[in-house]
Amino acid sequence: MPRGLWTAMARFGEYSTEDVLKMVGDIPTFSTAVSHLLKQLRDPDSGLEEIAATISGDPGLCALVLRMANSPLYRQGYSAPATLSIPRAVHLLGRKTMESAVLSYALKSMVHTSSLAEKLLWEHAVACAVVASEVVRIMGSKNLDTAYVCGLLHDVGKTILCRRFPDAMHSILEDQYNESSEEDSWPSSVSLEKERLGIDHCHVGAVCLNVWQCGEEAAIACAYHHRPKDAAGRSVWPAVIRVADILCHKLEYGPIRRPAMDLKPVEKALRIETSEITALLAAWRKKIQETLRAFSENTAG
């Protein structure tokens, strides 16, 4: 990440990166295979064979890549028969989609899905990834993969806080789940975390995404998705993720559920009618379910 932009935008809390790392202790790391694969996927000089060799060395990644390459979700436009070849699967998916898939795999392996609260966080991450990429499509942008990654990782700080402060964090998530209402009177996750843990998920997530080198866009989206106005003029991603987040509350994916929420603010941001948004939400729900299925238990354990 360019130091200038990060330094300018990282003044969102009272703690430095070192303070945050001290507070959350050992942050989870990606496996060697995942880290190596992400580097290869971002390096235009690394070839298909090298990428396929890294995937072949990790049974979980093999299963993921084959399952995705053969799922209806990613085979749109391809009439070729199902493949069991890793190089062919990588070719079909493409580098950008592979990167999103591998980050999803890495995130899922951090989540304890035996906990309802963490399972809801995982579903919220996938839902927000899908919705964010649909939102930017409506806005006429081609950066669907960046939107997907920003949506996927925007609340990763909550998952990390669940590792460090399991009881306190699970209680915050359960309180939010039980108290979800259409009113904005219930305290936000940011204020509850600050009050009970001394730090919030935006700050923790942004620092970790920076350490993991997940890209400037994801770190900025994570840092500012609860106050996008503070990033206005520098990055569009916090505002995109805010809209996607609200739509995921409406769709009831995650600990915060607001099915009867008024869509006026979204209507304004997307410049489309509420009736149109309602129709889109039904289609997006289907896509979210398909994506969750592509990452089901036996794929990313």
Residues that bind Fe ion (CB under 5 A): 155, 245
Q: How far is the CB of 80 from Fe ion (least distance, A)?
A: 37
Structure tokens belonging to residue 46: 């690394």
The residue among 97 and 176 lying less far from Fe ion, judged by its C-beta, is 176
In this structure, are residues 278 and 259 in contact, taking their beta carbons and an 8 Å threshold? no
Q: How far is the CB of 47 from Fe ion (least distance, A)?
A: 37
In this structure, are residues 161 and 153 in contact, taking their beta carbons and an 8 Å threshold? no
The residue among 58 and 245 lying less far from Fe ion, judged by its C-beta, is 245
Q: How far is the CB of 241 from Fe ion (least distance, A)?
A: 8
Picking from 229, 67, 78, 218, the residue whose alpha carbon sits closest to that of residue 154 is 218
In this structure, are residues 201 and 158 in contact, taking their beta carbons and an 8 Å threshold? yes
Q: DSSP assignment, residue 230?
A: G
In this structure, are residues 102 and 148 in contact, taking their beta carbons and an 8 Å threshold? no
The residue among 67 and 158 lying less far from Fe ion, judged by its C-beta, is 158
Q: How far is the CB of 184 from Fe ion (least distance, A)?
A: 15
Instruction: Give counts: helices (H), strands (E), the chain.
Output: 17, 0
In this structure, are residues 13 and 199 in contact, taking their beta carbons and an 8 Å threshold? yes
Picking from 88, 86, 63, 65, the residue whose alpha carbon sits closest to that of residue 78 is 88
The residue among 41 and 209 lying less far from Fe ion, judged by its C-beta, is 209
Report the C-alpha gap between 107 and 130 in whole angstroms.
15
The residue among 134 and 245 lying less far from Fe ion, judged by its C-beta, is 245
Q: How far is the CB of 4 from Fe ion (least distance, A)?
A: 26
Q: How far is CA 41 from the centre of its chain?
A: 18
Q: How far is the CB of 130 from Fe ion (least distance, A)?
A: 13
Written as one string, the DSSP assignment of 108-121 is HHHS-TTSHHHHHH
Q: What are phi and psi of 134, to 5 degrees?
A: -70, -35
Q: How far is the CB of 147 from Fe ion (least distance, A)?
A: 14
The residue among 88 and 285 lying less far from Fe ion, judged by its C-beta, is 285
